[in-house]
């Protein structure tokens, strides 16, 4: 237990906001140091457009189990001054502890506990909190052909595993109008603010509460001065759905939007970011986790469907069995009360180790391998 806490402290004290690539690189070295001590192996450092990710691979053949996590956080540099690392009355606190530096440490400790790590890969990425634009290819490459992916994102409420996640689409709608003096001759302008308001109403109407589909206009801007007809405006849109067909419906509808005002023009960017993680992708692994948890004196395990997405959406989208939410038990992700329940750390780490060992022992090797196209020798 003390080693787990000390390693979490090491990572939490090395702040790593996603947008600060130097900070992410420093964090990667901190993760590498913990992994080197526990695993006796140096990771590959995979740098994509300046963002540092880490990968360990064990054995000479294709990987069969992927332990997946990220070391970046949403917390800006300096957050430790207002949210210091602390352990008090069985609760661990600090920026990024729950989402998801504790999970990274748990993955490394679980792998270290395995009697044989052959067939295991560990991938710790540095850009998950901004949608994994630079690591998606690495994630899909590593997962393809695996028998199981275990995602070390934090648990749902009460320690529930995440067996279903919504798919996510993100769009940007930009409007071009025409400026004019708001008092002297507003009729000569084309009000981009009014046009973007029409577009906001149109995208909001795409939501379907009965199907759990949310389409939410978020960041909005328009105009330059209080006495000028806005010549430009924009709005970001966040869409979340439970199934691929619904994701496609929303995507087609957003892309077919047209201007309402004469002479206004709109441009639409973005698109589908993560496919849904369907319950079928997790069902078998969740059942296995329940059996193993009972044997370890943990449980019964609960499961949850959540609106947030993770890198597990990518792996499930490939058809690879994926179980998410295996990381820390606690709460307050991205919030002032972010925390981890210390007593659950060794229990959940033991469960992850048991899951990994069981899949390695009992899964067949009939699935297609993921060896083709890989870069680097890792620890093979």
> How far apart, in whole angstroms, are the C-alpha atoms of residue 106 and residue 353?
9
Contacts 24+ apart (CB under 8 A), 139-143: 139/68, 139/311, 139/314, 139/315, 140/314, 140/315, 140/318, 141/370, 141/373, 141/374, 142/55, 142/63, 142/66, 142/68, 142/370, 143/66, 143/68, 143/314, 143/315, 143/318, 143/320, 143/322, 143/370
DSSP 209: G
From the list 9, 15, 72, 324, the catalytic residue is: 72
From the list 128, 153, 195, 251, the catalytic residue is: 128
Q: Which residue has the tokens 């069995």?
A: 321
Are 213 and 220 contacting, i.e. CB atoms less than 8 angstroms apart? no
Active site residue 72: yes
> How far apart, in whole angstroms, are the C-alpha atoms of residue 173 and residue 273?
16
Are 209 and 307 contacting, i.e. CB atoms less than 8 angstroms apart? no
> How far apart, in whole angstroms, are the C-alpha atoms of residue 353 and residue 318?
24
Please list, in sequence order, all residues whose beta carbon lies within 8 angstroms of the beta carbon of residue 88, skipping any fewer than 6 positions away.
none
Q: Is 341 helix (H, G, I), strand (E, B) or coil?
A: strand
- Phi/psi for 65 (5° steps) reads -130, 130
Active site residue 128: yes
Residue count of the chain: 380
Q: Which residue has the tokens 């900070």?
A: 23
> How far apart, in whole angstroms, are the C-alpha atoms of residue 130 and residue 200?
23
Which residue stretches of the chain are H helix? 2-12, 21-39, 79-82, 102-113, 136-143, 192-204, 244-255, 279-295, 312-317, 344-362
3-state secondary structure 253-282: HHHCCCCCCCCCEEEEEEEEEECCECHHHH
* Residues identified as active-site: 72, 128
């Amino acid at each position: 237990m003390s080693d787990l806490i000390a390693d979490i402290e090491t990572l939490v004290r090395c702040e790593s906001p996603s947008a600060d690539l130097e900070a992410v690189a420093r964090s990667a070295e901190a993760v590498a140091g913990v992994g080197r001590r526990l695993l006796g192996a140096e990771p590959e450092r995979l740098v994509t457009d300046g963002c540092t990710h880490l990968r360990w691979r064990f054995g000479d053949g294709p990987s069969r189990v992927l332990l997946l996590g990220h070391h970046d956080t949403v917390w800006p540099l300096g957050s430790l001054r207002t949210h210091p690392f602390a352990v008090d009355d069985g609760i661990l606190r600090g920026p990024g502890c729950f989402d998801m530096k504790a999970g990274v440490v748990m993955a490394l400790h679980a792998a270290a506990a395995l009697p044989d790590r052959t067939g295991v890969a560990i991938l710790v990425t540095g850009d998950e909190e901004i949608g994994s634009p630079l690591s998606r290819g690495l994630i899909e490459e590593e997962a393809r052909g695996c028998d199981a992916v275990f995602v070390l994102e934090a648990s749902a409420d009460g320690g529930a595993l995440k067996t279903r996640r919504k798919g996510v689409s993100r769009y940007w709608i930009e409007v071009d109008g025409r400026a004019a003096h708001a008092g002297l001759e507003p009729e000569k302008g084309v009000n981009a603010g009014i046009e973007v308001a029409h577009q906001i109403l149109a995208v909001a109407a795409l939501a379907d509460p009965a199907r759990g589909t949310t389409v939410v206009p978020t960041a909005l801007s328009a105009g330059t001065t209080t006495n000028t007809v806005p010549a430009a405006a924009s709005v970001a849109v966040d869409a979340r759905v439970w199934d691929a067909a619904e994701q496609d419906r929303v995507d087609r509808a957003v892309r077919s939007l047209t201007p309402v005002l004469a002479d206004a023009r709109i441009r639409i960017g973005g698109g589908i970011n993560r496919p849904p993680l369907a319950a079928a992708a997790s069902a078998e692994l969740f059942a296995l986790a329940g059996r193993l948890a009972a044997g370890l004196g943990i449980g019964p395990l609960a499961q949850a469907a959540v609106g947030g997405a993770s890198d597990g959406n990518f792996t499930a989208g490939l058809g690879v069995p994926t179980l998410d939410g295996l990381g820390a038990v606690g709460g307050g992700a991205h919030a002032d009360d972010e925390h981890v329940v210390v007593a659950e750390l060794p229990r959940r780490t033991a469960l992850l180790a048991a899951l990994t060992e069981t899949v390695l022992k009992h899964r067949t090797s009939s699935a297609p391998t993921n060896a083709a196209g890989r870069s680097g020798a890792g620890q093979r």
